[in-house]
Structure 1
Protein backbone atom coordinates (compact mmCIF):
# COMPACT_ATOMS: atom_id res chain seq x y z
CA UNK A 1 0.00 0.00 0.00
CA UNK A 2 1.26 3.47 -0.86
CA UNK A 3 2.10 5.85 1.94
CA UNK A 4 0.59 9.31 2.31
CA UNK A 5 2.95 11.92 3.75
CA UNK A 6 1.69 15.27 5.02
CA UNK A 7 4.78 17.34 4.21
CA UNK A 8 4.23 20.96 5.20
CA UNK A 9 5.79 24.03 6.80
CA UNK A 10 4.23 26.07 9.57
CA UNK A 11 5.21 29.03 11.67
CA UNK A 12 6.19 28.35 15.27
CA UNK A 13 2.71 29.52 16.31
CA UNK A 14 1.01 27.03 13.98
CA UNK A 15 0.08 28.89 10.81
CA UNK A 16 0.62 27.65 7.25
CA UNK A 17 -0.12 31.00 5.62
CA UNK A 18 -0.62 34.62 6.58
CA UNK A 19 -4.16 35.93 7.06
CA UNK A 20 -4.20 37.04 3.42
CA UNK A 21 -3.13 33.54 2.29
CA UNK A 22 0.44 34.50 1.42
CA UNK A 23 3.45 32.35 2.20
CA UNK A 24 6.11 34.98 1.52
CA UNK A 25 7.38 34.52 5.09
CA UNK A 26 8.67 31.01 4.20
CA UNK A 27 12.43 30.74 3.65
CA UNK A 28 13.54 30.57 0.02
CA UNK A 29 14.75 27.18 -1.14
CA UNK A 30 17.51 28.76 -3.23
CA UNK A 31 20.00 28.88 -0.36
CA UNK A 32 19.01 25.64 1.41
CA UNK A 33 16.49 23.08 0.17
CA UNK A 34 15.91 21.48 3.61
CA UNK A 35 15.79 18.01 2.04
CA UNK A 36 13.03 19.00 -0.39
CA UNK A 37 14.70 17.55 -3.52
CA UNK A 38 15.26 14.20 -1.81
CA UNK A 39 11.64 14.05 -0.63
CA UNK A 40 10.27 15.15 -4.01
CA UNK A 41 12.24 12.37 -5.73
CA UNK A 42 10.20 9.82 -3.71
CA UNK A 43 6.83 11.29 -4.76
CA UNK A 44 4.72 10.57 -7.82
CA UNK A 45 1.40 12.03 -6.71
CA UNK A 46 0.25 15.18 -4.92
CA UNK A 47 -2.98 15.99 -3.12
CA UNK A 48 -4.08 19.54 -2.41
CA UNK A 49 -7.14 21.63 -1.79
CA UNK A 50 -8.29 24.36 -4.14
CA UNK A 51 -6.83 27.19 -2.02
CA UNK A 52 -3.41 25.52 -1.97
CA UNK A 53 -3.65 24.91 -5.72
CA UNK A 54 -4.35 28.57 -6.35
CA UNK A 55 -1.43 29.52 -4.10
CA UNK A 56 0.93 27.23 -6.04
CA UNK A 57 -0.24 28.85 -9.29
CA UNK A 58 1.05 32.23 -8.04
CA UNK A 59 4.61 30.84 -8.01
CA UNK A 60 4.78 31.05 -11.82
CA UNK A 61 5.16 27.94 -13.95
CA UNK A 62 3.30 24.88 -12.61
CA UNK A 63 5.56 23.42 -9.92
CA UNK A 64 4.83 19.69 -10.37
CA UNK A 65 4.51 18.96 -14.11
CA UNK A 66 6.01 15.46 -13.90
CA UNK A 67 3.74 14.31 -11.06
CA UNK A 68 0.11 13.26 -11.00
CA UNK A 69 -1.70 16.05 -9.14
CA UNK A 70 -5.16 15.89 -7.60
CA UNK A 71 -6.94 19.06 -6.50
CA UNK A 72 -10.02 18.67 -4.31
CA UNK A 73 -12.67 21.26 -5.08
CA UNK A 74 -16.43 21.69 -5.42
CA UNK A 75 -15.97 23.89 -8.50
CA UNK A 76 -13.23 22.73 -10.90
CA UNK A 77 -11.86 25.44 -13.16
CA UNK A 78 -12.24 25.06 -16.92
CA UNK A 79 -8.50 24.97 -17.65
CA UNK A 80 -5.48 23.53 -15.85
CA UNK A 81 -2.07 22.00 -16.44
CA UNK A 82 -2.35 18.53 -18.07
CA UNK A 83 -0.89 16.89 -14.95
CA UNK A 84 -3.73 18.23 -12.76
CA UNK A 85 -6.99 16.41 -12.15
CA UNK A 86 -9.85 17.92 -10.18
CA UNK A 87 -11.64 15.74 -7.67
CA UNK A 88 -15.18 16.49 -6.53
CA UNK A 89 -15.76 13.22 -4.67
CA UNK A 90 -15.20 12.65 -0.97
CA UNK A 91 -11.46 12.93 -0.18
CA UNK A 92 -11.53 9.96 2.23
CA UNK A 93 -13.01 7.61 -0.36
CA UNK A 94 -10.77 8.89 -3.15
CA UNK A 95 -7.52 8.68 -1.16
CA UNK A 96 -8.49 5.28 0.25
CA UNK A 97 -8.71 3.94 -3.32
CA UNK A 98 -5.59 5.82 -4.46
CA UNK A 99 -3.46 4.28 -1.69
CA UNK A 100 -4.29 0.78 -3.00
CA UNK A 101 -3.06 1.60 -6.52
CA UNK A 102 0.52 0.95 -7.58
CA UNK A 103 2.86 3.89 -7.20
CA UNK A 104 5.24 5.81 -5.02
CA UNK A 105 4.70 8.25 -2.14
CA UNK A 106 1.59 10.43 -2.15
CA UNK A 107 2.35 13.96 -0.95
CA UNK A 108 -0.47 15.63 0.94
CA UNK A 109 0.55 19.23 0.33
CA UNK A 110 -2.36 20.86 2.09
CA UNK A 111 -4.18 22.62 3.34
CA UNK A 112 -5.64 21.94 6.71
CA UNK A 113 -9.22 21.59 5.41
CA UNK A 114 -8.16 18.66 3.21
CA UNK A 115 -5.80 17.19 5.79
CA UNK A 116 -8.38 17.07 8.61
CA UNK A 117 -10.67 14.34 7.22
CA UNK A 118 -7.71 12.32 5.92
CA UNK A 119 -6.05 12.43 9.34
CA UNK A 120 -9.32 11.50 11.06
CA UNK A 121 -9.77 8.53 8.72
CA UNK A 122 -6.24 7.26 9.40
CA UNK A 123 -5.16 7.79 5.79
CA UNK A 124 -2.03 9.81 6.60
CA UNK A 125 0.97 7.64 7.36
CA UNK A 126 3.63 10.24 8.12
CA UNK A 127 3.89 13.89 9.05
CA UNK A 128 6.94 15.88 8.00
CA UNK A 129 6.47 19.23 9.68
CA UNK A 130 8.95 22.01 9.05
CA UNK A 131 8.75 24.52 11.88
CA UNK A 132 9.75 27.95 10.61
CA UNK A 133 11.22 30.21 13.31
CA UNK A 134 8.61 32.92 12.82
CA UNK A 135 5.61 34.04 14.86
CA UNK A 136 2.85 35.22 12.55
CA UNK A 137 0.30 36.01 15.25
CA UNK A 138 -2.61 35.15 12.94
CA UNK A 139 -3.25 33.36 9.70
CA UNK A 140 -4.49 30.09 8.28
CA UNK A 141 -4.00 27.41 10.94
CA UNK A 142 -2.20 24.15 10.34
CA UNK A 143 -4.70 22.12 12.34
CA UNK A 144 -8.44 21.72 12.40
CA UNK A 145 -9.89 20.15 15.55
CA UNK A 146 -9.67 16.36 15.58
CA UNK A 147 -12.25 14.18 17.33
CA UNK A 148 -9.79 11.43 18.28
CA UNK A 149 -6.38 11.93 19.87
CA UNK A 150 -3.46 10.62 17.81
CA UNK A 151 -0.15 9.37 19.08
CA UNK A 152 2.90 10.06 16.94
CA UNK A 153 6.11 8.06 16.74
CA UNK A 154 9.15 10.23 16.19
CA UNK A 155 11.19 9.03 13.21
CA UNK A 156 13.68 11.84 12.78
CA UNK A 157 14.49 15.44 13.62
CA UNK A 158 16.83 17.86 11.96
CA UNK A 159 17.68 21.48 12.64
CA UNK A 160 19.40 23.89 10.27
CA UNK A 161 21.58 26.88 11.27
CA UNK A 162 18.79 29.32 10.36
CA UNK A 163 16.52 27.72 12.97
CA UNK A 164 14.35 25.72 10.56
CA UNK A 165 13.46 22.42 12.22
CA UNK A 166 12.07 19.23 10.71
CA UNK A 167 9.88 17.02 12.88
CA UNK A 168 9.25 13.72 11.08
CA UNK A 169 6.64 11.42 12.63
CA UNK A 170 4.78 8.24 11.85
CA UNK A 171 1.11 8.48 12.76
CA UNK A 172 -0.31 5.65 14.82
CA UNK A 173 -3.95 4.55 14.73
CA UNK A 174 -6.41 6.81 16.52
CA UNK A 175 -6.42 6.30 20.28
CA UNK A 176 -9.51 4.74 21.79
CA UNK A 177 -10.68 6.59 24.87
Structure 2
Protein backbone atom coordinates (compact mmCIF):
# COMPACT_ATOMS: atom_id res chain seq x y z
CA UNK A 1 0.00 0.00 0.00
CA UNK A 2 1.21 3.47 -0.85
CA UNK A 3 1.96 5.90 1.97
CA UNK A 4 0.87 9.49 2.38
CA UNK A 5 3.92 11.54 3.38
CA UNK A 6 3.68 15.12 4.56
CA UNK A 7 7.00 16.76 3.62
CA UNK A 8 6.97 20.39 4.67
CA UNK A 9 8.91 23.25 6.27
CA UNK A 10 7.55 25.05 9.30
CA UNK A 11 8.60 27.99 11.47
CA UNK A 12 9.48 27.39 15.12
CA UNK A 13 6.04 28.70 16.08
CA UNK A 14 4.23 26.29 13.77
CA UNK A 15 3.48 28.30 10.64
CA UNK A 16 3.96 27.22 7.03
CA UNK A 17 3.42 30.71 5.58
CA UNK A 18 2.64 34.23 6.69
CA UNK A 19 -0.99 35.37 6.67
CA UNK A 20 -0.49 36.83 3.17
CA UNK A 21 1.17 33.63 1.84
CA UNK A 22 4.67 35.08 1.98
CA UNK A 23 7.46 32.48 2.08
CA UNK A 24 10.45 34.85 1.99
CA UNK A 25 11.41 33.65 5.48
CA UNK A 26 11.88 30.18 3.97
CA UNK A 27 13.09 30.93 0.45
CA UNK A 28 15.74 33.41 1.62
CA UNK A 29 17.00 31.28 4.51
CA UNK A 30 20.78 30.65 4.27
CA UNK A 31 21.40 27.41 2.40
CA UNK A 32 24.21 25.04 3.28
CA UNK A 33 26.23 24.06 0.23
CA UNK A 34 25.38 20.55 -0.93
CA UNK A 35 22.47 20.14 1.53
CA UNK A 36 18.95 19.56 0.21
CA UNK A 37 17.40 18.28 3.47
CA UNK A 38 16.68 14.92 1.87
CA UNK A 39 14.49 16.44 -0.84
CA UNK A 40 16.00 14.60 -3.83
CA UNK A 41 15.75 11.21 -2.12
CA UNK A 42 12.20 12.01 -1.00
CA UNK A 43 11.15 13.09 -4.50
CA UNK A 44 12.59 9.90 -6.00
CA UNK A 45 10.18 7.86 -3.87
CA UNK A 46 6.94 9.56 -4.89
CA UNK A 47 4.86 9.79 -8.05
CA UNK A 48 1.80 11.70 -6.84
CA UNK A 49 1.34 15.04 -5.10
CA UNK A 50 -1.63 16.40 -3.14
CA UNK A 51 -2.16 20.08 -2.39
CA UNK A 52 -4.79 22.64 -1.59
CA UNK A 53 -5.84 25.36 -3.97
CA UNK A 54 -4.02 28.11 -2.04
CA UNK A 55 -0.75 26.16 -2.29
CA UNK A 56 -1.33 25.60 -5.99
CA UNK A 57 -2.08 29.29 -6.58
CA UNK A 58 1.12 30.26 -4.74
CA UNK A 59 3.14 27.90 -6.94
CA UNK A 60 1.50 29.34 -10.06
CA UNK A 61 2.39 32.90 -9.02
CA UNK A 62 5.97 32.05 -8.08
CA UNK A 63 7.17 29.66 -10.79
CA UNK A 64 7.84 30.22 -14.45
CA UNK A 65 7.18 26.55 -15.28
CA UNK A 66 5.37 23.82 -13.39
CA UNK A 67 7.98 22.27 -11.09
CA UNK A 68 6.47 18.78 -10.96
CA UNK A 69 5.62 17.65 -14.52
CA UNK A 70 6.60 14.05 -13.73
CA UNK A 71 4.14 13.77 -10.83
CA UNK A 72 0.40 13.25 -10.94
CA UNK A 73 -0.82 16.27 -8.99
CA UNK A 74 -4.22 16.62 -7.36
CA UNK A 75 -5.37 20.09 -6.33
CA UNK A 76 -8.28 20.21 -3.91
CA UNK A 77 -10.64 23.07 -4.66
CA UNK A 78 -14.29 24.02 -4.41
CA UNK A 79 -14.36 25.00 -8.12
CA UNK A 80 -12.83 22.02 -9.96
CA UNK A 81 -15.16 22.21 -12.91
CA UNK A 82 -13.96 25.71 -13.89
CA UNK A 83 -10.20 25.07 -13.88
CA UNK A 84 -7.82 23.50 -16.36
CA UNK A 85 -4.05 23.15 -16.23
CA UNK A 86 -1.51 20.73 -17.64
CA UNK A 87 -0.09 18.21 -15.16
CA UNK A 88 -2.88 18.92 -12.65
CA UNK A 89 -6.14 17.20 -11.74
CA UNK A 90 -8.54 19.44 -9.87
CA UNK A 91 -10.83 17.71 -7.39
CA UNK A 92 -13.79 19.07 -5.45
CA UNK A 93 -15.37 15.91 -4.02
CA UNK A 94 -14.79 13.78 -0.94
CA UNK A 95 -11.07 14.27 -0.24
CA UNK A 96 -10.58 11.37 2.22
CA UNK A 97 -12.37 8.98 -0.18
CA UNK A 98 -10.11 9.97 -3.08
CA UNK A 99 -6.98 9.67 -0.94
CA UNK A 100 -8.01 6.22 0.31
CA UNK A 101 -8.46 5.16 -3.31
CA UNK A 102 -5.03 6.57 -4.24
CA UNK A 103 -3.37 4.83 -1.30
CA UNK A 104 -4.81 1.47 -2.29
CA UNK A 105 -3.62 1.84 -5.89
CA UNK A 106 -0.26 0.96 -7.36
CA UNK A 107 2.73 3.22 -7.60
CA UNK A 108 5.18 5.07 -5.43
CA UNK A 109 4.29 7.00 -2.28
CA UNK A 110 2.21 10.18 -2.26
CA UNK A 111 3.47 13.62 -1.24
CA UNK A 112 1.10 15.70 0.83
CA UNK A 113 2.46 19.17 0.09
CA UNK A 114 -0.13 21.10 2.09
CA UNK A 115 -1.51 23.58 3.01
CA UNK A 116 -2.83 23.57 6.49
CA UNK A 117 -6.48 22.91 5.61
CA UNK A 118 -5.67 19.80 3.55
CA UNK A 119 -3.15 18.67 6.17
CA UNK A 120 -5.89 18.86 8.80
CA UNK A 121 -8.47 17.02 6.71
CA UNK A 122 -6.12 14.13 5.99
CA UNK A 123 -4.72 13.99 9.53
CA UNK A 124 -8.22 13.91 11.00
CA UNK A 125 -9.15 11.12 8.58
CA UNK A 126 -6.14 9.11 9.79
CA UNK A 127 -4.60 9.08 6.31
CA UNK A 128 -1.15 10.59 6.97
CA UNK A 129 1.38 7.78 7.37
CA UNK A 130 4.57 9.82 7.74
CA UNK A 131 5.50 13.41 8.43
CA UNK A 132 8.87 14.86 7.50
CA UNK A 133 8.87 18.28 9.09
CA UNK A 134 11.77 20.64 8.57
CA UNK A 135 11.86 23.17 11.41
CA UNK A 136 13.39 26.47 10.36
CA UNK A 137 14.93 28.52 13.21
CA UNK A 138 12.60 31.45 12.53
CA UNK A 139 9.49 32.69 14.31
CA UNK A 140 6.73 34.43 12.37
CA UNK A 141 4.38 35.47 15.18
CA UNK A 142 1.33 34.86 13.05
CA UNK A 143 0.51 33.08 9.84
CA UNK A 144 -0.97 29.95 8.34
CA UNK A 145 -0.57 27.00 10.72
CA UNK A 146 0.70 23.55 9.81
CA UNK A 147 -2.65 22.15 10.99
CA UNK A 148 -6.00 23.75 11.70
CA UNK A 149 -7.44 24.01 15.19
CA UNK A 150 -9.99 21.25 14.63
CA UNK A 151 -7.69 18.22 14.67
CA UNK A 152 -7.94 15.56 17.33
CA UNK A 153 -5.08 14.10 19.33
CA UNK A 154 -3.06 11.46 17.48
CA UNK A 155 0.16 9.70 18.36
CA UNK A 156 3.17 9.50 16.04
CA UNK A 157 6.60 8.01 16.62
CA UNK A 158 9.84 9.90 15.96
CA UNK A 159 11.79 7.74 13.49
CA UNK A 160 14.60 10.08 12.47
CA UNK A 161 16.15 13.37 13.53
CA UNK A 162 18.64 15.40 11.51
CA UNK A 163 20.40 18.53 12.76
CA UNK A 164 22.11 20.94 10.38
CA UNK A 165 24.83 23.54 11.02
CA UNK A 166 22.52 26.41 10.08
CA UNK A 167 20.10 25.64 12.93
CA UNK A 168 17.61 23.69 10.84
CA UNK A 169 16.27 20.45 12.27
CA UNK A 170 14.32 17.84 10.39
CA UNK A 171 12.14 15.35 12.20
CA UNK A 172 10.52 12.32 10.63
CA UNK A 173 7.47 10.79 12.30
CA UNK A 174 5.41 7.73 11.45
CA UNK A 175 2.31 6.02 12.80
TM-score by length of 2: 0.92
Given the superposition, is the C-alpha separation of residues 67 and 147 from structure 1 closer, same or farther in structure 2, using an over 3 Å criterion?
Answer: closer
Secondary structure, aligned partner of 1:151: coil
- Closer, same or farther in 2 for the Cα pair 1:29/1:79, shift >3 Å? farther
Q: Summarize the alignment of residues 75-90 of structure 1 with structure 2, pairs less than 5 Å apart.
A: 75-76=79-80, 77-81=82-86, 83-90=87-94
The number of residue pairs the alignment matches comes to: 170
1:120-153 CA distance string (max 9 Å, x none):
1111100110000001111111121245311111
Q: Which residue of 1 aligns with 2:160?
A: 156
Superposed CA RMSD in Å reads 1.5
Q: How does 1:19-30 map to 2 (within 5 A)?
A: 19-26=19-26, 27=29
The structure carrying a bigger helix percent of its residues is 2
Post-superposition offset of 1:22? 1.3
2:41 maps to what in 1?
38
Q: CA deviation digits over 1:48-96, x for unaligned, max 9? A: 0000001112222111001100000011353312x21001111111101
Residue ranges of structure 2 left out of the alignment (5+ in a row): none
* Cα distance in 2 for residues equivalent to 1:102 and 1:69: 15
The runs of 4+ residues in structure 1 deviating greater than 2 Å are: 27-32, 76-79, 145-148
Distance 1:11 1:97, change over 3 A: same
Deviation at 1:157, TM superposition (A): 0.4
User: Could you give the per-residue CA deviations for residues 149-170 of structure 1, whole angstroms, max 9, x where no partner exists?
Assistant: 1111111000111111101000
**Counterparts of 1:146 and 1:122, CA distance in 2:** 14
